A and B are shown apart, each in its own frame.
Chain A
Amino acid sequence: MAVSAHLRTFRHAAWLGWQMESNWTRPWLFMIYSIARPIAATLILVVMFLVVKQGVANDPAMFAFTYLGSVFFMFVAQVMMGATMVIMEDREHYQTLKQLYIAPISIRVYIIGRAMSKLLLTSVSVVISIAFGILVLGLPLDLGTVDWPLFAAAMALGISCILAIGIALAGITFLTAKHSSGINEGIGGAFYLLCGTLFPLTVLPSWAQAVGMAIPLTYWLELVRRSLYPGSAMEAISGLGALGSGTIMLYLVVSTLAFLAASTLIFRYADRRARRAGKVDMTTSY
């Protein structure tokens, strides 16, 4: 398919996604639901952690580590889940999946397009959370010292990776029934624990550390933290201090490419399986 066709699909899917997100009769309800709710969910976890681990709250670097990891994890929770929700909603609720499936579009491009509104709203949530962190919780972040090019590169790769995982899960959703979002939540939870989100990898058993080191999100979070806190404070905590930022960037690139390739294979396989099993237009009967 031509690039222009993919761009067209992307554009219209993104437009559709935005219509769905912003389809609230009262704008403030939309703001609360789409922006404030993920913030609240994230902060509850951070606060719980801080209560359990009293020491963290008193250590500014440790607090920044925990806070940023949790805040940026919103992208995983929202965008990755958003991608799988597309398949569920279009198949079950709108019942348009079969129409899209036989259309001359790439379903993967369509899913990415649909996920863009989630990406945008989550970005707003993240920015608000960081502002809240700085202004209210005393998060020691100096925007003047941020390594913006590193931050931008890490974000681009991280989001690509999150979308790749989302697409693979969307493929698996093709094969499963409506109430199987459990797998997705399980995977989200695993990433939360294994990628050094709330606490450093070093507290995990060595096998779990090894798994974490194979997931690009680990390197993404590390680079996001390092770019926001140039110096050595973050890497001293994360346990990845032995690796330079260049090396971590290389790991991030390589593991992201591997995830993209795996995502492509999984999606193609699931697509074919779904078409063979007749699951593309399957609706759950209650």
Chain B
Amino acid sequence: MAYALEVSALSRAFTGKQTVVALENVDLKVKEGELFGLLGPNGAGKTTLIKILSTLLLPTSGTAKVLGYDVDGEASKIRPLINMVSGGETSGYGLLTVRENLWMFSQFYGVPGSVARERIDGLLKAFGLEDKANAKVRTISTGQRQRMNIIRGFVTDPKLIFLDEPTLGLDVTTSRTIREYIRDWVRARDDRTLLLTTHYMREAEELCDRVAIIDRGTILACGPPAELKRRMNHASTFVMDTTSFDPAPLSAVRGVKGVSADEIESGKRVRLVLEDESAISDVISAVVSRGGRIVSLNKVEATLEDAFIEMVGRGLG
């Protein structure tokens, strides 16, 4: 099995007034044909990793190979084969039309004219942007520009595409359209690979063949969503409602040994992941001793989110 991505001992620091280590000793392998997700909270290092893999940024140390080529020495071999889009991206030449923008980028990748035209039409339709095809980019909405940029990524028919938070800030319908397109795109040919980052748990769980959970520049776990959830089987997950009290229930229960918690509803509802179910009595006394009262306590099925809460020690927030 060929690897689309082979990342080994990769680190990246940003030096400035203070040094920020964005990635630390990351090892990662993504197979050709995979739809791979990087899941992590803001500041985890997802964008930094994507920038390195898409040849925009160099690593501080370690190596990264994209489709067999080294990002440091062989960027010019990688570039024709990949593309990258950040979800929040609203960039583009405002004085060109949507179609002209897409056309120009397709031409920079040497897509033959008739193929490019056909592909642009198909993508505009798939993303519901066909009525804006001839509108100047400066006249369309932010969401429409985001869609245009996602199309820009696919219009070059890359072997490997990086999507950094592709549905960031988009409405539910558009997000679904994009997720469906992403899935179909990868499935349509078996030599297509897609790496996306997200901080939406559902997106990773629904979409990805495999997910890496990343936090503070380190990969904490990597595997198919189902497997990550299975790792949780020894633990128990509860949802607890309380009356509001001071300090907040979340900080009250976080102190309890063997318990990871995340707030679902501010000051009222928390999700608890217990290494051992017997810790529930400590949770209850932690709440009661601080003057809170338990309204309800339900045991629930573990989700990827719980795996995340347990590993990262907090939710995605």
Contact = CB atoms under 8 A, between A and B. Distances in A.
Q: Does A pair with B?
A: yes
Nearest to B84: A102
Given A12-B108, A104-B108, A275 B56 contact: yes
Contacts of B92: 94, 96
Nearest to A5: B110
A96 B91 contact: yes
Residue from A1, A5, A19, A275 having most chain B Cβ neighbours under 10 A: A275
A8 B92 CA distance: 20
B181 interface: no
B115 to A, nearest CB: 14
Interface of A: 1, 5, 8-9, 12, 15-16, 19-20, 23, 94-96, 98-105, 272, 275-276, 278, 280-281
30 contacts: A1-B76, A5-B110, A8-B107, A8-B108, A12-B108, A16-B96, A19-B96, A94-B91, A94-B93, A95-B89, A95-B90, A96-B93, A98-B56, A99-B84, A99-B105, A99-B152, A101-B55, A102-B56, A102-B82, A103-B79, A103-B108, A104-B76, A104-B109, A272-B58, A275-B56, A275-B57, A275-B58, A278-B57, A280-B57, A281-B51
B95 A104 contact: no
Please give me the 6 A-B residue pairs with the lowest Cβ-Cβ distance, nearest first: A95-B91, A104-B80, A104-B79, A23-B95, A103-B108, A276-B58
Contacts of B152: 99
A276 B52 CA distance: 10
A280 B58 CA distance: 11
Given A8-B110, A94-B93, A102 B104 contact: no
A77 B206 CA distance: 56
Q: How large is the interface on B (under 10, 10 to 19, 20 to 34, 35 or more residues)?
A: 20 to 34
Contacts of A96: 91-93
A122 to B, nearest CB: 21
A204 B202 CA distance: 72
A265 B54 CA distance: 24
Nearest to B95: A23
Contacts of A8: 107-108, 110
Contacts of B89: 95
Output the residue of A15, A20, A99, A105 with the most chain B CB within 10 A: A99
Contact of B108 (A105, A272, A280): A105
B109 A102 contact: no
B57 A16 contact: no
B16 to A, nearest CB: 10
A100 B92 CA distance: 11
A276 B94 CA distance: 29
A82 B76 CA distance: 26
Interface in B33-74: 51, 54-58
Contacts of B94: 94
B93 A16 contact: yes
B95 to A, nearest CB: 4
Given A102-B83, A103-B108, A104-B79, A281 B56 contact: yes
Contacts of B90: 95
Residue of B54, B76, B108 with highest tally of chain A CB at under 10 A: B108
Contacts of A102: 54-56, 79, 82-84
B110 A104 contact: yes
Contacts of A104: 76, 79-80, 108-110
Contacts of A23: 95
Contacts of B95: 19-20, 23
A103 B152 CA distance: 11
Contacts of A99: 84, 91, 105, 152
A16 B110 contact: no
Contacts of B57: 275-276, 278, 280
Contacts of A105: 108
Interface in B185-203: none
A110 to B, nearest CB: 8
B156 to A, nearest CB: 8
A8 B110 CA distance: 8
A252 B79 CA distance: 37
Interface string B98-124: 001000110111100000000000000
Contacts of B91: 94-96, 99
A91 to B, nearest CB: 10
A89 to B, nearest CB: 10
Contacts of B93: 16, 19-20, 94, 96
Nearest to A103: B108
Given A20-B95, A94-B91, A99-B91, A9 B82 contact: no
Given A23-B95, A99-B91, A280 B56 contact: yes
A278 B95 CA distance: 28
A101 B91 CA distance: 14
Contacts of A103: 79, 105, 108-109
